[in-house]
Structure 1
Amino acid sequence: MITEVCAPSLLSAVNAGKAGAHRVELCSELVLGGVTPSYALIKKVVELLDIPVYVLIRPRSGGFTYSREELEVMRNDVAMCADLGCAGVVCGVLKKDHRIDTVATAGLMEAAGEMDFTFHRAFDWVPDQEEGIERLLQIGCSRVLTSGARPTAEEGLDALVTLERKYGDEIIVMPGGGVTERNIGKFKTRGFREIHFSATRLQHQSLPLPKISFYPKSLPDEREIYVSDPAVIKRMVNLVK
């Protein structure tokens, strides 16, 4: 089973590579659902890792419906990833009613060229996932990352199995969202070929507590950072070999 680690930092990506993950999805600000990482971060990760690096292309948090100018930024970021030697991008666009915007998404796929293209978890907002898959097949998308339209992939397992059985010969259905050591084996048992997880934990930095926080009260303070744990990654990889 192919394991993809969602890595929200340079350290997380390096940890994933050392721990035996098959692929990395590099992003920034995972706590906000992820946004596009910087040019320098992408470049460094590609240089350091000997496994495929996919990059999340999302210009901001706050949904997946974009202006013409934002789509131009996204296409330029996709082209940047190609220039830097990335193996794939993870992206997607929705209309205001949350149906897949096939025209905008196809434009991003065209910009990706020979890179692999994964339609990300915006798919879990799509009101009819089977209709959504049909739209992705129309434009030649090769993979969809989804929790089965539920908060976690474990909760959406039945829906994921339905999609895999109906469309698995035409598109890779990759479960993601809340995948842990405790439940990862369920997805291999049900026949999925790929799995997506972050294996993140809060890592405390030995720094003084700042007098002013720039975080909302719902988040940990600035001394805590999310890091993909290499020990957890290694155990999860071994569980689905």
Structure 2
Amino acid sequence: MTTVEICVSDVPTALVAEAAGADRLELCADLGQGGTTPSLGTVEVALRTLRRVGVRVMVRPRGGDFRVSEVEEQVMLADIEAVRALPNPHGLAVGVVVGAVADGGGLDLPVLRRLVEAAGPLPVTVHKAFDEVDDQIAALEAIIDLGADAVLTSGAAPTALAGAERIATLRRRAGDRLRIIAGGGIRSHNVRQVLAETGAREVHLRAPVQRDGREATDGDEVRRVVTAAHGD
């Protein structure tokens, strides 16, 4: 079955996405900057309040580029340690989302290795920093060697549909060694086409709607995506 991951920015939107049938959530702060680490309180309350969905916690200390300084790495390591220590009363599948690129156009493998090691038993997704890498096939093999669980990608294109051929290539290369999550411009009207053209079994998207002057999650759109992706 296809997994639908919804990116959410707080506990209320997480609850909306869960109620609408999402399989997994990516919990972030500051979506306007592409997502940064949510507060520890947000993660703790989410784990206490949600009942069934998987939760991946973004670990990214700031917006902007994906280069990680020594101090920023220390912050990320501390955040991962804090997430691991949180109570998980409902036994949700919890993981973290990380990424780091080097000046030369590749992944910052030393930083990523330390982040993956710090996560320990928690599964690790490498986020769309992967799409800034010049040689994605080599980067994919390196991520597998590090022990990461998944990669989120649009195939280095503006959208998952535009990058469908690359995503399909990455999926075939990864096989059963690592999960490829397709993301970028996915909505209910095109999710089946994305799945068909990429062969991916997991999709990632936001379902934004403006309510009371701020962005919320559109539960109706989540339901439509889930229905289309699950083939109901």
8 Å CA contact retained: 2:155, 2:164:
yes
8 Å CA contact retained: 1:184, 1:236:
yes
Any idea what SS the aligned residue of 1:240 has? helix
Any idea what SS the aligned residue of 2:56 has? strand
Residue number in structure 2 paired with 1:225? 214
2:159 paired with 1:152? yes
Letter of the aligned partner of 1:49 in structure 2?
L
> What is the CA deviation profile of residues 186-211 of structure 1, one whole-angstrom value per residue up to 9, with x for unaligned ones?
233242111111111222x2xxxxxx
Residue number in structure 2 paired with 1:79? 81
Any idea what SS the aligned residue of 1:144 has? strand
Residue number in structure 1 paired with 2:57? 55
> What is the CA deviation profile of residues 75-119 of structure 1, one whole-angstrom value per residue up to 9, with x for unaligned ones?
010111111247100001111123111111111111111111000
Letter of the aligned partner of 1:236 in structure 2?
V
Structure 2: 5+ residue runs without aligned partners?
Answer: none
2:209 paired with 1:201? yes
In structure 2, distance between residues paired with 1:61 and 1:54: 18
Give the TM-score normalised by the residue count of structure 2.
0.92
In structure 1, distance between residues paired with 2:154 and 2:195: 15
Residue identity (%): 35
In structure 2, distance between residues paired with 1:155 and 1:122: 17
- After TM superposition, the structure 1 = structure 2 runs for residues 121-132 of structure 1, keeping only pairs within 5 Å, are 121-132=128-139
8 Å CA contact retained: 1:125, 1:149:
yes
Structure 1: 5+ residue runs without aligned partners?
Answer: 206-223
Residue number in structure 1 paired with 2:66? 64
| RMSD after superposition | 1.2
Give the TM-score normalised by the residue count of structure 1.
0.89
Any idea what SS the aligned residue of 2:124 has? strand
The Cα of 1:169 is off from its aligned counterpart by: 2.3
- After TM superposition, the structure 1 = structure 2 runs for residues 4-23 of structure 1, keeping only pairs within 5 Å, are 4-23=5-24
- Structure 1 runs, 4 residues or longer, greater than 4 Å off: none
Residue number in structure 1 paired with 2:40? 39
Residue number in structure 2 paired with 1:27? 28
Residue number in structure 2 paired with 1:161? 168
Q: Which of the pair has more CA radius of gyration?
A: 1
Residue number in structure 2 paired with 1:239? 228
